[in-house]
Chains A and B, each alone.
Chain A
C-alpha cells in the first residue's frame, strides 16, 4: 500500500484501486504485528518501526493489530482471525506467555511464521523470541547512566517497583554484579515504591533524608522515575541529585527540561518493531532459520544471535537526554 501510494500519489480512489490490484498482482507478504493492546504509545511507535522495515523490504504489508485491553483472551481472538486471513507471519508481544501459545501453535501448523518480541511466548508457541535488550545489558546501563554524571563517584540508591517484581529484581541483580566495574560508585540502598506515585514519592523523600550525600536515584520503572524526579524538584535538589533509570520520553520530557534528570534509557520501540519485522520476514522467506546459534540479520540494527532457547537480545537500551528528548517525546 505504501509503495503504491508513493508511486502514484494521486486521488484516494485511484490509490485504493491500484493498491487492491497491486496486492493481487504481486502477492505482498503480510506480516501481522500483534501488540498487547491498541492505543499504547510504545506499541504505536513499534508499528512505525515495522512500517519502516516494510518500506525497506518492499512487497511487505504490515497488519498492526491487537485487543483493546491487555488480555490474553483478546489476543487469542486476534490470532484466530489472523489465521483465518492467512497472513504470512505473526510477530506478537504477548499478554500471557502460555495462554496464547496453543493459538500460535495452530498458526505455525498452518505454515505461518510466528515470532514473539518484547513480551515473550513459551518455547512451543513461537519460533524465536526477540528481547528488546538483555538483563545484563540493562543492569549495566542503569548503573552507567548514573556513573556517567558522577566523575568523582559517590552514593547512589535504587528505587524499584514492588519488591517482588521479577523484571526489576533481575535488572537490579545484574546492576549489582557490574558495580565493581565502576570504582567510586557506592550503592547505599534499594527501596521499593510499588509503582504507586505516592509511595514512590515518599520513598524518594526517605532516601534524601537518610542519605544527605546521595548523588543519584536510579529508578528502573516509569512510575518510580517520575515520582523521584518530582520529589527531587520539590526538595530543591536539582543539580545535587540526578534522577535516572528507565522511563518513557513522553513522560520524562519535563524532568529532562527541569534538569532533575540528566539522561535516562529505554529500549527504542521503533527499533524493536523494525527488528521484529525484519526477523519475521527473514524467517518467512526462508532466508534464515530459527535454531540455536543462528544469526539473523536485522537491517540497520545489525544482526541478532539466538541462544539455546531461540531467544535473542536486540541491543543496549537507548539513552535519551536533552539532545534528543524533543524528537522522541511526541512518539512514545
Chain B
C-alpha cells in the first residue's frame, strides 16, 4: 500500500514536470532541446545532492538548515587547500571535501543526539558559526578564478558520455542512496526513527544515533557539493550559496518528503529538485518580470505542499478500532 502511494506521487510529479516543460516550450522552444535539458540537469545537480541529504535528515524528524553554510565553508576550505598546494590531485580534494563536510554534519548530529537540542536551533546556530568561520579563515577575502589550479576547475566540467561529471555524480548519488534507503538496515532505520520514534526505540533502533548518521550523510553531501560549487563558479566567498538551504528544503517538500518525518524517497527528492531547477532555469529565458519570478517560485512550493498535505491526510488509518471507541 505505501509503495503505491510513493509511486503514484512520483508519477504525479513527473507529470507536473512534463507539463511545466510543455508550458515553457510554448514560450521558448529551444528550452526542451536535449542539450539544454542536459544543461538544466547539470545546473540542478548541486540541488539534487543537497536534497538527498536533506531528505534523509527530514525523514528522521529533523531539519538541516546548515547545508548551504556547510557547502560554503567546505568550498572555502578546499579552495584554500588548492591555493596552498596547487598540485594536489582532484580525487584527494574530493575526499577532503566529503570528509570535512561529514565532520561538520557530525557536529550537528552530536548536538542533536547527545545534547538533545532541537535540530532547527542546532543548525540555525551552526549555520551562522560556519559562515563566521569562513570569514575568519578567509578574512573576508574572495578566492577567484585565477587563483585556482586548472584541474581543480576542470573536474566538474569534464564530459563523460556526453554529460559533465557533475551530472554523473548526482546520478550516482541518486542510485547509491536509493539502494541505501531501501536495502540497508541504516536506510530503513531512517524511516522507522522518523515514522514512529517510540516504536523504533522498542524495535531496538537508537533514534538519536540514527539522526546523527542522517546529519553526517547530509554534511558529507554538502561538503562534496561545496567543492563542485566553487569549481563550477570558480569563486569562493563568505556568502556563497546564501539562502540556498531554503531551496533545498523546498525541493524536498515538493518531492513529497513529509516535513513531519517518516515519508519520502530519493527519487522524489530528485524530482523536487529538478522541478525547482527547471523553473529557475526557465524564468530567465521566458522573459518574466523579476518580481513575478519570486512569486512564481513561491507559488509552486505552496501548491506542492498543499498537494502533499492532501495526500498525507488520506494516509490516516485506525489500527485498533476498540481502543478508539473506548475513550
From B140, B146, B291, A253 is in contact (CB under 8 Å) with: B146
Chain B: minimal CB distance from A168 (Å) = 12
Residues of chain B contacted by A37 (CB below 8 angstroms): 140
CB contact between A209 and one of B147, B243, B285 (< 8 Å): that residue: B285
Contact present for A234 and B157 (CB under 8 Å): yes
Starting from the known contacts A199-B280, A206-B283, A234-B157, 9 additional A-B residue pairs (CB-CB under 8 Å) come to A41-B141, A189-B287, A198-B43, A198-B46, A226-B144, A230-B232, A250-B142, A257-B146, A329-B146
Q: Does A74 contact B (CB under 8 A)?
A: no
B233 touches A227 (CB 8 A): yes
Contact B281 A202 (CB under 8 A): yes
Min CB distance A68 to B, Å, is 9
Q: How many A residues, CB 8 Å from partner? A: 38
Q: Does B175 sit at the interface, judged by CB under 8 A?
A: no
Q: Is the CB of A250 within 8 A of B290?
A: no
Interface pairs (8), CB distance under 8 Å: A37-B140, A198-B43, A202-B280, A205-B39, A209-B28, A229-B145, A251-B142, A258-B145
Chain A residues packing against B (C-beta within 8 Å): 37, 39-41, 69, 162-163, 189, 191-192, 195-199, 201-203, 205-207, 209-210, 226-227, 229-230, 234, 248, 250-255, 257-258, 329
Residues of B within 8 A of A192 (CB): 290
For B43, the chain A residues whose CB sits under 8 A away are: 198, 201-202
**Residue in chain A with minimal CB distance to B144:** A251
Cα A162 to Cα B243 in complex, Å, equals 14
Q: Is the CB of A203 within 8 A of B284?
A: yes
CB pair A254–B243 under 8 Å, yes or no, is no
> Please, which residue of chain B has its CB at the minimum distance from the CB of A160?
B290
Q: Which residue of B lies closest to A199 (CB)?
A: B280
CB proximity of A237 to chain B, nearest CB, Å? 14
Which of the listed residues B140, B281, B287 has the most CB atoms from chain A within 10 Å of its own CB?
B140
Q: Are the CB atoms of A209 and B146 closer together than 8 Å?
A: no
Residues of A within 8 A of B205 (CB): none
Size of the B side of the interface (Cβ < 8 Å), in residues, is: 36
Contact B145 A230 (CB under 8 A): yes
- Asked if residues B146 and A210 are in contact (CB atoms below 8 Å), the reply is no
In the assembled complex, which residues on chain A have CB atoms less than 8 Å from the CB atom of B147?
254
Cβ contacts B95-130/A at 8 Å (1 or 0 each): 000000000000000000000000000000000000
Once the chains bind, are A197 and B240 in contact (CB under 8 Å)? yes
Q: Which residues of A contact B284 (CB under 8 A)?
A: 191, 202-203, 205-207, 210
Asked whether A254 lies within 8 Å of B145 as measured between CB atoms, the reply is yes
In the complex, chain A residues whose CB is within 8 Å of the CB of B244 = 198
Determine the main DSSP class of B at the interface with A: helix
Find out whether the CB atom of A196 lies under 8 angstroms from the CB atom of B242. Answer: yes
Shortest CB-to-CB span from B100 to chain A, Å, is 20
Contacts A202-B280, A202-B281, A255-B145; is A197 near B235 (CB within 8 Å)? yes
Residues in B whose Cβ lies below 8 Å from that of A196: 241-243
B226 to chain A, nearest CB (A): 13
Name the A residues within 8 Å of B291 (CB-CB): 163
Chain A contacts for B234, CB-based, 8 A = 226, 230, 254
Q: Chain A residues near B235: list those with CB within 8 A.
A: 197, 226-227, 230, 251
Query: A170–B188 Cα gap in the complex (Å)?
Result: 56
Determine the residue in chain B with the shortest Cβ distance to A200.
B233
CA distance in complex: A258, B28 (Å): 31
Q: How far is the CA of A234 from the CA of B142 in the complex (A)?
A: 21
Which residues of A are found within 8 Å of B31, using beta-carbon distances?
209
Q: State A64–B39 Cα separation when bound (angstroms).
A: 48
Docked Cα-Cα span, A244 to B119, in Å, equals: 44
B30 at the interface (CB under 8 A from A): yes
Residues facing A in B140-163 (CB within 8 A) are: 140-142, 144-147, 157
Cβ of A227: which chain B residues have Cβ within 8 Å of it? 233, 235
